[in-house]
Chains A and B, each alone.
Chain A
Amino acid sequence: MSAHRSTRAPTEPPLVRALLIVIALVFLAFFLIVPVVAVFVQALADGPAAYFAAITDPATRSAIRLTLIAAGISVPLNTLFGLAASWAITKFEFRGKTLLLTLIDLPFTVSPIISGLVFVVLFGAQGLLGPWLLAHGIRVIFAVPGIVIATTFVTFPFVARELIPLMQSQGNEEEEAALVLGASGWQTFFRVTLPKIKWGLLYGVVLCASRAMGEFGAVSVVSGHIRGHTNTVPLHVEILYDEYDFVGAFAVASLLALLGLVTLGVKRLVEARESR
């Protein structure tokens, strides 16, 4: 947050201000805070023992493992892409840049279900590459590779979207100075650019990881929900919920909610660093 308003600026009567604040806070409390608190309260409804039993259950552990694999592959790839795309877009002028920016946003505007469907159409048994994959004994859909690809697709824009505005606002002067003084391109990137963007990059990576681990729709379409085999944490939440194991579902969901809270914490931290 920047630019606090001067005290002499005209404002509303105290009663109006108080009323507006109260309406806004009541709305946010009921609408945002209550559901998040509910996750943790429901998770602990049968006591801590039931909670720990649910999150250490073998099916949960295997879902966590698969989620970490998917995030472990998609996040580094999308980080690399984010760095390359933001460098190309913010350091150079070229035709088609606006189109490129719009295309980078594409996975963000496509419904997660369609994102999943895209890969079923491509790699599924009746899909375009399906017969070839089948002949070579490669399973993509209803298997781990499909989950990894769908996750990568869905979380594709996050690092780039954080870095592009940041690098645009920072400009190129320091990089140009480094190059004039004889630094190589890589030296300039690692010693000048990277330190400048490290906080924005950190948030982009954390957001990307958090989205990768929480992705539901796209992964649900490609996974086939095979328990203990192609089950990620959000899918496991759905399975437990559909089996009326509410404590289990909320216990596993609380892990994802914690992940979301950590993401918010990192965002605040980064904003505090950047405004300094």
Chain B
Amino acid sequence: MSVRRNNMPGFRLTLGFTVFYLVTLVLLPLSGLLWKASALSPAKFWEVVASERALAAYRLSFGASFVAALVNVVFGGLVAWVLARYPFPGRRFVDAAVDLPFALPTAVAGIALTWVYSEHGWIGQHLVPLGLEIAFRPAGVVVALAFVGLPFVVRTVQPVLLELDPEVEEAAACLGASRWQTFRRVLFPRLVPALVAGFALAFARALGEYGSVVFISGNMPLRTEIAPLLIVGRLEQFDYAGATGIALALLVVSFVLLVGINAAQAWTRRRTGEEP
């Protein structure tokens, strides 16, 4: 390991403890999972990972996470824009409220959203008579996942908006661009990397989300069962091998996403010229 020479003390102590803690708490247990999964025969692995019920769950998890992340990009982008650019009374309060889904324990969000959107809840009682059922339907899964993912988009886009140089917009205006043209041609392209990064973060978070979804989804196999719930189902039958197989499939997807997010963030930094 090559260390740049500087006179700071404590390199061995702090890095040693960091690596030791990381390996004991995270890496060794995770490799235990991989080891257990490797004990599965390919036939059994395929049977577990590609059963009809599992495929339905992946479809719901990926579909609902995708839609929720899209909702987050549209509304989160709008919220970030309003917070960064328009002064209005109570802006500080609203800015703080954006972090609510991040601070609220998932089970609390889960039961609250379920009640609010169910037949007798504040919002559900107006929607259900119109035929718009949300609780215990795939739409409920989308609502819960969009709730959880919102801060990720806002907090990725907002700093980029704040750092845009107003001179660029002034220049566009001086050159005769309308406000809409300036937004479409000058501002929006600069926001795209942040919107993509925010989308990926919200999507990744949504794929693994559990607590806020299990209450509102109703957990009906083939219809409203999300992928993490498949693992819980296998565990309840003491089918450790099956649970591990599905977990491995999900881990691979999360890992690919993590790499993609890092690439998207590096792209954002390059595009906005911000130091890492």
Contacts and interface: CB of A to CB of B under 8 A. Distances in A.
Contacts of B229: 113
B241 to A, nearest CB: 9
B146 interface: yes
B34 to A, nearest CB: 10
A221 B235 contact: yes
Given A3-B163, A114-B250, A114-B251, A95 B99 contact: no
Contact of B103 (A10, A110, A210, A253): A210
B208 interface: yes
A268 interface: yes
B147 A32 contact: yes
A10 B179 contact: yes
Interface in B87-109: 88, 92, 94-101, 103-109
A256 interface: yes
Given A2-B162, A27-B79, A36-B112, A121 B36 contact: yes
A11 interface: yes
A94 B15 CA distance: 10
Contacts of B43: none
Interface in B65-92: 75, 78-79, 81-83, 85-86, 88, 92
Given A121-B36, A213-B105, A111 B146 contact: no
B121 A109 contact: no
Interface in A179-205: 179-180, 184-185, 188-189
Contact size class for B? 35 or more
Nearest to A32: B100
B9 A185 contact: yes
A226 interface: no
Contact of B14 (A25, A88, A102, A175): A88
A176 B244 contact: no
Contacts of B115: 38, 42, 246, 250
B179 A13 contact: yes
Contacts of A152: 25
B192 interface: no
A238 B150 CA distance: 24
Contacts of B251: 110, 114
Contacts of A188: 9
A95 B2 contact: yes
A33 B150 CA distance: 13
A59 interface: no
Interface in A7-59: 8-13, 17, 20-21, 23-25, 27-28, 30-36, 38-39, 42
Contacts of B2: 94-95
Interface string B235-276: 100101001100100110011011000100000000000000
Interface in A228-243: 234-235, 237-238, 241
Contacts of B98: 28, 32
B106 A88 contact: no
A263 B112 CA distance: 19
B27 interface: yes
Contacts of A23: 78
Contact of B75 (A27, A81, A91, A216): A27
Given A102-B258, A256-B107, A31 B150 contact: yes
Interface in A109-136: 109-114, 117-122, 124, 126-128
Contacts of A235: 107
A111 B208 contact: yes
Given A36-B100, A112-B208, A214-B106, 8 more contacts: A85-B18, A103-B26, A110-B208, A111-B208, A111-B228, A118-B33, A189-B10, A210-B103
The 9 closest A-B pairs by CB, nearest first: A214-B105, A111-B208, A185-B9, A217-B210, A216-B211, A9-B166, A35-B112, A260-B103, A93-B4
Interface of A: 1-3, 5-6, 8-13, 17, 20-21, 23-25, 27-28, 30-36, 38-39, 42, 77, 80-81, 83-85, 87-89, 91-96, 100, 102-107, 109-114, 117-122, 124, 126-128, 149, 152-153, 156, 172, 175-176, 179-180, 184-185, 188-189, 207, 210, 213-217, 220-221, 234-235, 237-238, 241, 246, 249-250, 253, 256-257, 259-261, 263-264, 267-268
28 contacts: A10-B169, A10-B170, A21-B88, A28-B98, A32-B98, A34-B122, A38-B121, A39-B108, A81-B18, A88-B18, A89-B18, A92-B8, A103-B26, A110-B251, A111-B228, A113-B210, A114-B250, A121-B240, A156-B25, A180-B7, A184-B9, A217-B210, A220-B210, A221-B235, A238-B107, A259-B105, A260-B103, A264-B96
